[in-house]
Structure 1
Amino acid sequence: MSNRKTVVVGMSGGVDSSTAAYLLKEEGYNVIGVTMQIWQEENECQMQAEGGCCGISAVEDARRVAEVLDIPYYVMNFRDVFQEKVINYFTAEYLAGRTPNPCIACNRYVKWESLLKRSLEIGADFIATGHYARIRHLDNGRYAIANSVTAEKDQTYALYGLTQEQLSRTLMPIGDYSKPEVRKIAERAGLPVAHKHDSQEICFVPDGDYAAFIERDTGRKMPEGDFVTKDGRVLGRHRGITHYTIGQRRGLDLPMGERVFVTEIRPETNEVVIGTGSDVFTDTLKADHLTFMGIEDLPMGEEEHFLAKIRYNHRGTGCLVKRTGEDEITCTFDEPVRAVTPGQALVYYRDGYVAGGGIIGK
């Protein structure tokens, strides 16, 4: 590859993005490392302790890797767009009784839209990340995210919202390797983060307490309300709807004599609906905010069979996807799926690549 091609690598300070930068430099690219500063104002001690992909420790680790690789390194400020497109979205969805995936919004609007725009402005040809996914240029001329070589770390689900322009300007070198292989490459390259632990939680809620974060962010304490059955019988009191998600069993504190689960959240009446295990299974859902990736479109009334995921760690279930509205598809699964959750993404695949997706409504 000609070294005249320039790629900006989004470096989180972790082993995956660091190894991506190393591999691209080895291929002959002119590599520039960039860490996206996305978190809001905090004191230095708090940022150092929380780390994640946007704290001070991430910047320090990424800078050390850039020094080892002898590549230029910069920190770019994307706080405003992160607040608008990720944090505000996250909070609004929970208040509306839905369960969002903020990583999907961050990928679409921050890690790609904003970073790609800034990178092109400084003369780069591509951006790259350390995601476990690959990009395929299909026979129909479209670009699509395709499964990585390792199902354990596959991250295609969270990337379904990327546009054709973004995909045509993106490199994903990590998708050809397993996690142990990536660590070995990093170790051989002398990267100081070769054995750094992966971050597990949402970066802006490192303690995993979403409800407490929402109360801090909004300045509002969520009101208590009723736990009810599907037909409206009151079972007890809940702590506020932001504490719950579909399929949840733990933390309900309801003496029912059997396992019970959250089956619905009703923000308009401030009720959380409780049911049995069989109540959390369904074979149909509707999705909107449609995105088409590997296929150009699905015409009104037409239907096709795909493999679909309803959450990040869902292995996938066969389904029939039918276009039922201008911005709506109806998905009928080959067998019932558990805990279909409004606000999460429906992502459907064909032959190992993402065909399209949308946000689950019902």
Structure 2
Amino acid sequence: MIRQQADFQLGEDLSGKRIVVAMSGGVDSSVVAALAAASGAETIGITLQLYDHGEAVNRTGSCCAGQDIRDARAVAERLGIAHYVFDHESRFRDSVIDNFADEYLAGRTPIPCIQCNMGVKFTDLLKMARDLGADCLATGHYVRRVVGEDGRAQLHRAFDPARDQSYFLFATTDEQIDYLRFPLGDMPKPVVREIAKEMGLVVALKPDSQDICFVPDGDYARIVRKVRPEAETVGDIVHIDGRVMGQHKGLIHYTVGQRRGLEIGGQPEPLYVIRLDAAKQQVIVGPKIALAVQAAAIRDVNWIGGAPDEDAHEELTVKVRSLSRPVPGRMDGNVIRFLKPEYGVAPGQAAVVYAGDRVLGGGWIVSTEPWQNDQTHVA
């Protein structure tokens, strides 16, 4: 059964070839390694040590550190495959954690998982896999790689919408997609765990890791303070009409759309963070309707298989937060225009464009335009 499923999930006959598997120590990447080994291919597992050699040893909800490395090694031994661990802590700190802190200081809301995929995982790991003479690199991401009629590989949403990770992979290049394999894209999570149990893998019941692996307790501000001690500069909380409402304890504690934690009670209506002004160290607040935007400008745009044709009238949807649903939109150069008011669009987040289930690409949000009508005009 596993061998047949391996051939199906990998989408090709890889017997006699070499596969490198990115093994984080979780159940998903462990099952990918099991499927690769069962396909008849020579399988090599690689784990990157990314952070906290000491602190993360017994941490739950993490990946790529401490116990997770031991779990990856145990799975590799169970499968009888080679396994290597490479220390990438310095590279991860420079390219992901430092960027995470700097984005918060600039009043933006970062997504470190995308930065990690762009650099440490899909750049460094791909190079390692090629250096090892591998025919492909397989990962445990829940996303589908589909070869179109033109023979080019495309990126599609996962079969299981609750597990879909396509939002985090918008920056994957055509060249990378050609080399990558995502065996779990067509599988629901319960099936993945069943395979792990059938194979006798120690991680079969292991809890899923959280999205931001180096923030295990959800305290982003603590991480930013540790990296950038100057982060907690106080400033004014200012209403969109210009009134000073109070003092904030540092921009790193706030993000666009936030309601709780403002500590400015006694108002006739709930107030939300509308935007952050890093130059003035101000948190701008207002009623929920002031969050409505009609457009978002994006930078560092990556299109998979070419940019969408603005004149083709193709029905596009856009996802501006990892947990939000895609909403109708259209492209106007490097500006995304929403067909209906969209709320809580934060600079620093990614805007990912879809045509049906296909991921067309996207970019990083740099600015937004308020929805233009009498009710949502912001001075």
State the shift of 1:137 in Å: 2.1
Match of 1:269 in 2: 280
C-alpha separation in 2, matches of 1:291 and 1:170: 17
Match of 1:60 in 2: 70
- Corresponding position: 1:69 with 2:79: yes
- Corresponding position: 1:287 with 2:292: no
C-alpha separation in 2, matches of 1:358 and 1:167: 17
Pick the aligned partner of 1:345 from 331, 341, 350: 350
Match of 1:13 in 2: 25
* Aligned AA (1:103): C
Q: Do the aligned residues in 1 keep the contact of 2:327 with 2:338 (CA within 8 Å)?
A: yes
Match of 1:319 in 2: 329
Consecutive unaligned residues of structure 1, counting only runs of 5 or more, are 324-328
Q: Do the aligned residues in 2 keep the contact of 1:302 with 1:322 (CA within 8 Å)?
A: no
Q: Do the aligned residues in 2 keep the contact of 1:33 with 1:74 (CA within 8 Å)?
A: yes
Q: 1:170 to 1:201 in 2, by over 3 A?
A: closer
| Structure 1 residues 50-129: aligned runs within 5 Å | 52-129=62-139
Q: 1:201 to 1:357 in 2, by over 3 A?
A: closer
Q: Return the TM-score normalized by structure 2.
A: 0.89
- Corresponding position: 1:38 with 2:50: yes
Identity of aligned residues (%): 40
SS in 2 for 1:273: strand
- Corresponding position: 1:278 with 2:278: no
- Corresponding position: 1:245 with 2:250: no
C-alpha separation in 2, matches of 1:51 and 1:34: 20
Match of 2:372 in 1: none
Q: Which moved more, 1:133-142 or 1:350-359?
A: 133-142
Q: 1:107 to 1:201 in 2, by over 3 A?
A: closer
C-alpha separation in 1, matches of 2:314 and 2:98: 35
State the shift of 1:257 in Å: 4.0
Match of 2:361 in 1: 356
SS in 1 for 2:230: coil
- Corresponding position: 1:211 with 2:221: yes
Consecutive unaligned residues of structure 2, counting only runs of 5 or more, are 1-12, 368-379
Q: 1:213 to 1:151 in 2, by over 3 A?
A: same
State the shift of 1:305 in Å: 3.9
Match of 2:169 in 1: 159
- Corresponding position: 1:330 with 2:341: no
Q: Do the aligned residues in 1 keep the contact of 2:314 with 2:355 (CA within 8 Å)?
A: no
State the shift of 1:34 in Å: 1.1
- Corresponding position: 1:132 with 2:130: no
Q: Deviations over 1:303-348 (max 9, x none)?
A: 754111001111101111111xxxxx11111211110010000100
Q: 1:2 to 1:352 in 2, by over 3 A?
A: closer
Q: 1:320 to 1:232 in 2, by over 3 A?
A: same
